[in-house]
Amino acid sequence: MPRRRIGFWYRFAAVICKPPLVALLKRDWRGMEHIPAEGGFITVVNHNSHVDPFAYAHFQYNTGRVPRFLAKSGLFKKGFVGAAMRGTGQIPVYRESTDALSAFRAAIDAVERGECVAFYPEGTLTRDPDGWPMTGKTGAARVALQTKCPVVPVAQWGCNELLPPYAKKPNLLPRKTHHVLAGPPVDLSRFYGKEMTADVLKEATEVIMAAITRQLEEIRGEKAPETPYDPRRERIEQRRRTQAQAEARAKAKAQADAQAEAQARAEAPGKQAEGQGT
C-alpha cells in the first residue's frame, strides 16, 4: 500500500508550525527506520509538555507518514483550529458521552485504511515528579489487539525543558533540543486471540508503556523507577492522607475539649467555695 497523501491541511499546518519549531528547538531524531513505509500502524508516545504534540508531529511529518491524533472534541467545533483539525484528519474524543467509543472505532477504521494513529497512552501530561511515563490507559492496546497492527513505541524529551508540564511561561534560552527515539514495534502477539478482558488490556498496556520507558531511558541515560507513577493510586493515597489528617485534627480537638472540660470541673469546687466565703 503506498504512502497516504499528506494533503493540503497538513502541508498548510506544516508551513505555519515548522518555522517556530525549528527556531525554538534543535533536533536529535532517531529511529525513523522503525516507522513503517506503508500499511496501518500505531505510534505510542510519552507526553511531558504542551509543546510536544507539535514537535512530535514535526518528527513524524518528516517520515512521510503523518499521524492522526486523538484530540478533545471541543477543538473540532469552530474557527480555524476546528477547520485544521478536521482537515488534517484528527480524531475527536467525546469524553463522558454516548459517543465516547466513537474515537476507538475511528482509530480502528483509520488503521485499517492504512493510516497511522498516534496515541498518548497516559491520557494527559505526566505527573511523575521526574518526568517519566505514568501508567497508561488501555485505548492503544485495544486498537492494537483488534487490528493486530504494528505498535511503534516513541519516547521524546526536551520540550519539557522549553515548557515544563503545567508551566505558563517558556524557557526560551538557551535553545533546547528535542530528542526523539522511535523503537522497533512492540511484540503483542502473545495477546492475539485472547478475549479482550480488563486484565488482558491492562497487561498489554503495561508492555507498551515499558517499551516507551526503555526508549526514554536510552535518551536520558538513566533508569526509570521500577514502579511507574499511577495517578489513580496517588489520588487514593491523597484521599487517605486527607482523611487521616482530618481524623487527627478531630481527635486532637476532642482531646483538647475533654481536657478543657476536665479542667473546668476541677476548678469548679474552688470557685464555689470562694463564692460562699464572700
Closest CA to 50 of 72, 78, 27: 72
pLDDT in tens, 234-268: 778 777 877 778 777 888 888 888 888 888 788 77
Mean per-residue pLDDT, 35-63: 96
| From 112-116, 130-134, 138-142, 236-240, the region with the lowest mean pLDDT | 236-240
- Cell of residue 223, nine digits: 533508569
Per residue in 214-238, pLDDT (tens digit) is: 999 999 999 999 999 998 877 787 7
The answer, yes or no, to whether residue 99 has pLDDT greater than 80, is: no
Confidence of residue 77 (pLDDT cuts 50, 70, 90): confident
Can you tell me the mean pLDDT for 84-113? 84
Give the per-residue pLDDT at 275: 63
- CATH number for region 8-226: 3.40.1130.10
| Share of residues in the chain with pLDDT > 90 (%) | 66
Full-model pTM: 0.84
Give the residue with greater pLDDT, 147 vs 2: 147
When pLDDT is averaged across residues 11-23 and rounded to a whole number, the result is 93
pLDDT at 277: 61
Domain ranges within the chain, ordered by starting residue: 8-226, 228-257
